Every structure is written in C-alpha cells, then in structure tokens.
C-alpha cells in the first residue's frame, strides 16, 4: 500500500508575513490561502496581537481555526473544534493561558515599581486615549489592544539603566521581560513554539501524525520555526531574511504575503502539501 502522508497544518505569523508590512493587506497571499482551503489544510495564526485584535481579522479571512496570541502566551480554540464540530470565524473560542495570567504580571510590575521607584505606565492603567497617543492606533484598535490576557506592556518613562534593572528584577522573579521600542513587555514563560506544540498535540490526538509548517519573519518567530517540521523565513521589507536557511528551515522567495504565497506554492509543488 502507498504510504499515507501526514495531514498538514500551517502556523503563521501576521505582520510582515501573511500581512504586508505597510498596508497590512494579504491580497498577494490569497491564491495560496485558496489553495490551502481547497485541500482542507488549517491555517493557524500565531501572533503578538491580542485575541480581540485577531477576531476581526479572522472574520475577514474567513478563518475558523485555532490561533495563538500575545507571542504564544495564550491559545484560542473554537468551541467543539477538536470534537469535529464545524466552526466558523465567529464561533466562540475557549482561551487557555500558557504563560502567566495578565493579573499576575500587572501585580509583579506594580510591586517592583513600589519597591524600587521605577517610572512607567502600564496598559492596565491606560485609557484608549493614552494608548492612541503612545502607539498611533485608531480608537477601535486601541480598545482591542487593551484586551490582554497573558502579557502586560509598560510605557517606559525612566532611564535606560533603570529599565535594565527592572528587566533583571522581572527575570529574577521567574518571569520574562522583552524590550520593544518605547515599551517593556512583561510575560510568562511561553513563546510561539510552545503554542505550536500545544496545538500540534491536539491535532495529533484527533488526526494522528501531522506535518507542522511554520512561517515567520522576525526573532520572535524563531522558536515557532524551530518547533515545526518545516519552517520558512519570509523575506523582510528590505529583502533580507532574519535567520539562515538550513535543515528543516527554508527561505521564501518573496517579501511579506508574496513570499508567503511562494512558500505555500513550493510546498504544494513538492507534494509536501497535497
């Protein structure tokens, strides 16, 4: 008998990967999305965005599959999905925190500020107007960015040396601190690779062995690509790739959603996706 190929599941970053870096469009990837849909290949979003931010995009994409948010800190599964229930983009989801609950992270930041006098403003203390001023998001976008479950961004208002001391204190307390522009993000110990593993175990329990394919463009995607059976670095806006190709990790021939399409079409041409 011919060998039965494992069903594929695609895990993808959003910004500068499936979505264009400049206008956040995915038109260039549409033929590949259509090809995956025709083959019943799930596309699972894995992003730094919040569940509220992803919800509207999933409706536009007509994507009813599980997804991961806040850099793998939490995963969301449509109710009944792994029990064979037909799910759409508007099916209510059940959220599981893999890292640490936001309340715990807010408490940690508040305690460290009181103890050491650090100066910052956390998202938990900010209004939508504050977020708009700090990020440039529109009002609906600011509201969705405030709906966090497994991370707490802090608008840093202190010195660089104070930031280093704060991040060291967060790590010493058993959590993770990441710097991003004007913000310091306080997180639990979970990343995109953990989210991929968590979802793969659910797919495998339902479908048997699966082929996990991951696509991303930046450093916070590295763990996800390493955890996948096949990983693709999508070219960044300047045409470079964040990491080297080698082993199970490849370079996509294109930038953003055009590169995303090229990667999927290559997988189909190689019959790795059937």
**In a domain? residue 215:** yes
Report d(CA 15, CA 232) in Å as an integer: 15
181 & 200 share domain: no
User: One of 13, 20, 217, 221 is an active-site residue; which one?
Assistant: 13
Lowest mean pLDDT among 3-17, 22-36, 101-115: 3-17
Query: Cα–Cα distances in Å, from 231 out to 70, 89, 158, 195?
Result: 20, 26, 39, 15
177 & 74 share domain: no
Q: How high is the pLDDT of residue 115?
A: 97
Non-local (6+) Cβ contacts of 10 within 8 A are 36, 41, 42, 43, 44, 213, 214, 215, 264
Q: How high is the pLDDT of residue 1?
A: 29
Does the structure show a pLDDT above 90 at 136? no
Report d(CA 47, CA 187) in Å as an integer: 14
Is there a contact between 237 and 21 (Cβ–Cβ < 8 Å)? yes
Beta strands per DSSP E along the chain: 8-12, 43-45, 67-69, 74-78, 93-97, 120-122, 151-156, 176-180, 183-187, 211-216, 230-235, 249-255
Does the structure show a pLDDT above 50 at 230? yes
pLDDT, average across residues 240-253: 97
**In a domain? residue 1:** no
261 & 215 share domain: yes
Question: What mean pLDDT value characterizes the chain?
Answer: 94
Of 201, 178, 118, 189, which is closest to residue 150 (Cα–Cα)? Answer: 189
Tally the domains of the chain.
2
Burial of 209-223, coded b for 16+ CB within 10 Å and e otherwise, reads: ebbbbbbbbbebbbb
Domain boundary (164, 187, 210) is at 187
233 — phi, psi (to 5°)? -85, 120
111 & 93 share domain: no
**In a domain? residue 274:** no
Report d(CA 99, CA 188) in Å as an integer: 4
31 — pLDDT class (breaks 50, 70, 90):
very high
44 — pLDDT class (breaks 50, 70, 90):
very high
**In a domain? residue 203:** yes
The CATH number covering residue 167 comes to: 3.30.980.20
Of 51, 54, 50, which is closest to residue 19 (Cα–Cα)? Answer: 54
Q: How high is the pLDDT of residue 178?
A: 85
The CATH number covering residue 32 comes to: 3.40.50.1000
How many Å is the Cα radius of gyration of the chain?
Answer: 19
pLDDT, average across residues 178-186: 84
Q: How high is the pLDDT of residue 182?
A: 83
199 & 183 share domain: no
18 & 140 share domain: no
Q: How high is the pLDDT of residue 5?
A: 57
pLDDT, average across residues 179-198: 90
Domain boundary (124, 156, 187) is at 187
**In a domain? residue 3:** no
Domain boundary (152, 187, 222) is at 187
167 & 247 share domain: no
Does the structure show a pLDDT above 50 at 90? yes
**In a domain? residue 124:** yes
87 & 149 share domain: no
Domain boundaries, position 217 = 8-98+191-269
pLDDT, average across residues 183-192: 92
**In a domain? residue 2:** no
179 & 199 share domain: no
74 & 118 share domain: no
30 & 77 share domain: yes
156 — pLDDT class (breaks 50, 70, 90):
very high
Answer yes or no: 13 catalytic.
yes
**In a domain? residue 64:** yes
Q: How high is the pLDDT of residue 2?
A: 34
113 & 94 share domain: no
């Amino acid at each position: 008998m011919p060998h039965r190929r494992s069903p594929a599941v695609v895990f993808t970053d959003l910004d500068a990967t499936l979505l264009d870096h400049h206008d956040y469009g995915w038109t260039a990837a549409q033929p590949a999305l259509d090809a995956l849909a025709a083959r019943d290949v799930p596309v699972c979003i894995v992003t730094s965005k919040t569940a509220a931010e992803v919800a509207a995009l999933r409706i536009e994409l007509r994507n009813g599959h599980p997804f991961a948010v806040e850099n793998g800190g939490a995963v969301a599964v449509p109710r009944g999905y792994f029990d064979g229930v037909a799910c759409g983009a508007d099916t209510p989801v059940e959220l599981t925190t893999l890292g640490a609950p936001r309340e715990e992270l807010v408490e940690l930041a508040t305690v460290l500020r009181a103890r050491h006098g650090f100066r910052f403003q956390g998202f938990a203390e900010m209004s939508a107007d504050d977020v708009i001023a700090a990020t440039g998001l529109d009002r609906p976008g600011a509201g969705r960015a405030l709906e966090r479950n497994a991370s707490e961004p802090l608008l840093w208002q202190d010195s660089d040396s104070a930031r280093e001391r704060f991040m060291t204190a967060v790590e010493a307390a058993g959590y993770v601190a990441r710097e991003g522009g004007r913000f310091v993000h306080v997180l639990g110990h979970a990343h995109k690779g953990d989210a991929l593993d968590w979802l793969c175990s659910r797919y495998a329990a339902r479908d048997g062995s699966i082929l996990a394919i991951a696509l991303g463009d930046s450093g916070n995607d590295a763990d996800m690509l390493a955890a996948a059976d096949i990983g693709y670095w999508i070219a960044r806006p300047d045409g470079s790739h964040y990491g080297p190709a080698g082993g199970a990790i490849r370079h996509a021939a294109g930038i953003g959603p055009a590169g995303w399409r090229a990667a999927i079409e290559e997988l189909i041409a190689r019959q790795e996706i059937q």
